[in-house]
């Protein structure tokens, strides 16, 4: 091998190593920075109280609850709609062109910047229900519908045709076949879709700024839905940008990152669990 060629190989290899190292360091730096700044600020008082100007205290309990509420409310609407649509498209629909069109529309919908959902949600939902967690949740439903519909559809397609034939062959009607044989077979897709959606809901801020508002009031589920409220991500924005409380912002950031980690982990575990169950 000529010297020139050897040098060239060495050079390219080095460049690739540097780019990889750069990427890795960037991620690690971000993680370390947020955790180092954030974790010391996560105190019991922060997690268990609401903010009070009189006592000069900041607590993020309302924001945590709002996040939980909005996740629950979104899933309540999202699951039946998304799973129902997926079942219709794969099990009932006969017109392939309609199916393709809807799938394409869903694909496109999932690529739209979330701030546009926020704008529409504000005009449609907040105008009708007031700026509230409910308006935010409904906006998130539209945002996440494509995700849950597509993951359910993909997993419906993996349910072997022979199961359906076997059930029909025993005299089962269409709905019984779907309920007893098809849906249990696509549970993994539904759960994966849910976990992905929860992840997206936790991380969403732009669409909620318009629709759900910024309040830090401590409410129960039903009052909460009808009142404005900040989720953790929105609260992070508010504390960092409007109030300059960077300790709180970093604490929230650290919490959000841990939650994200947890969600990714559970998605992997669920996937593994179902893969194992299918291969007995």
| Per-residue interface string for the shown chain with other proteins, residues 170-199, x marking contact by CB under 8 A | xxxx--x---xx--xx--------------
Q: How far is the CB of 157 from other proteins (least distance, A)?
A: 16
Pick from 44, 162, 220, 242: which binds other proteins (CB under 8 A)?
A: 162
- Is 220 an interacting residue with respect to other proteins (CB under 8 A)? no
Site string for other proteins, 92-131 (x = CB under 8 A): --x-------------------------------------
Q: How far apart are the C-alpha atoms of 263 and 110, rounded to whole Å?
A: 20
Query: What gap in Å lies between CA 229 and CA 70, rounded to an integer?
Result: 10
Helix 133-157 vs helix 96-109: crossing angle, to nearest 10: 130
Shortest spacing between CB 190 and other proteins, in angstroms: 16
- Of the candidates 156, 186, 182, which has an alpha carbon nearest to the alpha carbon of residue 168? 182
Interface residue with other proteins, options 122, 140, 148, 167 (CB under 8 A): 167
The Cα–Cα gap between 229 and 213 comes to: 5
- Round to whole Å and give the CA distance between 77 and 63: 21
* Angle in degrees, 0-180, between the axes of helices 183-203 and 61-87, rounded to the nearest 10: 140
Contact 221, 69 (CB under 8 A): yes
d(CA 30, CA 105): 36
Where does this chain touch other proteins (CB under 8 A) — which range of 102-110, 157-165, 224-232, 259-267? 157-165
DSSP summary character for residue 212: T
Region binding other proteins by CB under 8 A among candidate stretches 155-163, 203-211, 219-227, 253-261: 155-163
- Is residue 168 a contact residue for other proteins (CB under 8 A)? yes
x/- binding map, residues 259-278, to other proteins, per CB under 8 A?
Answer: ------------------xx
- Rounded CA separation 233/245 (Å): 14
- Examine residue 165 and tell whether it contacts other proteins (CB under 8 A): yes
Closer residue to other proteins, CB minimum distance, 129 or 163: 163
Residue 1 or 280: the one with the smaller Cβ distance to other proteins is: 280
Integer Cα distance of 136 and 223 in angstroms: 14
Binding site for other proteins (CB under 8 A): 94, 160, 162-173, 176, 180-181, 184-185, 277-278, 280
């Amino acid at each position: 091998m000529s010297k020139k060629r050897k040098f060239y190989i060495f050079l390219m290899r080095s460049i690739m190593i540097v780019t990889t190292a750069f990427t890795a360091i960037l991620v690690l730096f971000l993680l370390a920075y947020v955790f180092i700044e954030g974790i010391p600020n996560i105190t019991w008082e922060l997690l268990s109280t609401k903010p009070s100007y009189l006592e000069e205290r900041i607590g993020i309990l309302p924001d945590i609850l709002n996040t939980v509420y909005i996740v629950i409310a979104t899933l309540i609407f999202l699951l039946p709609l998304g799973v129902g649509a997926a079942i219709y498209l794969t099990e009932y629909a006969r017109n392939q062109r309609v199916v393709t069109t809807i799938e394409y529309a869903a694909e496109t919908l999932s690529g739209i910047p979330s701030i546009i959902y926020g704008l529409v949600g504000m005009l449609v939902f907040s105008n009708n229900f007031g700026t509230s967690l409910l308006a935010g949740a409904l906006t998130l439903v539209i945002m996440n519908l494509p995700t849950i519909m597509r993951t359910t559809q993909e997993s419906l397609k993996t349910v072997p045709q022979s199961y359906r034939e076997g059930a029909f062959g025993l005299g089962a009607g269409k709905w019984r076949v779907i309920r007893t044989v098809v849906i249990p077979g696509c549970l993994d897709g539904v759960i994966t879709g849910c976990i992905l959606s929860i992840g997206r809901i936790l991380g969403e801020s732009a669409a909620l700024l318009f629709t759900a508002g910024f309040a830090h009031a401590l409410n129960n589920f039903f009052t909460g839905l009808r009142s404005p409220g900040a989720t953790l991500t929105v609260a992070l924005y508010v504390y960092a940008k409007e109030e300059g409380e960077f300790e709180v912002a970093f604490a929230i950031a650290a919490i959000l990152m841990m939650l994200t980690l947890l969600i990714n982990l559970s998605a992997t575990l669920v996937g593994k669990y179902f893969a194992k169950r299918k291969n007995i």
